[in-house]
Amino acid sequence: MSNQVKGMLYLFAMEFRYSILVFWSILLSILLVFLLFCYYVISPADGSFFFGFPFAIYFYCGVLGFMAVKEIVPFALKIGATRRNYYIAAGLFFLGLSAFFSFAANTIQSLVTVLIDGTRVESMQFIHLANFLGGTWVDRFVTDLSVMFLLMTILFLTGLVFYKYGQLGGGILIGLAAAVVLAGVAQGWLIAGIIELFADINILFFYQVLLLGLILYALSFVMLRDISITKRK
């Protein structure tokens, strides 16, 4: 690994360090509030209270993928980083952060589940996409890793479109995506496809999601290789 790639990884870490700390502080605080609520207010006999780690993290990962273009590309190019090294560093950062977030979230979930087992706090239940697979730690880890990386990549590509083609290009992309979704909902094939997918889902699907993320990220270099320092309005 070249020194410039290491430097870019350090830049990514420093740029998003505060944001990551704030995000996890808020997320863990919400978890604590839910646990206290379940302990003091409701009991298992009153029903279940659901909490999902991954959904907030998925949203944050998407935002981070977009900001990786907006906040870092112009600065990295101004200080002399090559587009190739930025591309390598961003991919490694996305994969590493996805793995770290997945490991942290699912380890905390497992620990909390063990601690509250048999107590009145057991009324709080964790929800996760991997519950369709059986919900083991490995299932949850693979699921989160693949979805987080894919979302980072998609929003990274979206950020590149906005950066390179301006608000007009980005608006066209968002409009086309919205049109496809609305058409799918109106015609029914999108909802039917989702129902069919989750009816027969397995862990192999999420490996395919990770592969899709890697392919999309590989294609992102086509846009990145001739990107300029100046963002288009």
Give the model confidence (pLDDT) of 140-182 as tens digits. 899 999 999 999 999 999 988 888 877 777 678 778 878 887 8
| Nearest CA-CA partner of 217 in 96, 127, 94 | 94
Take residue 57 and report the two structure tokens written for it: 């993290």
101, two tokens:
């977030």
Task: With 0.85 as the threshold, say if the pTM is over it.
Answer: yes
Q: Exposed, middle or buried by CB within 10 Å (0-12, 13-18, 19+), for 200? A: exposed
Write the pLDDT tens digit of every residue in 40-56: 777 666 666 777 778 88
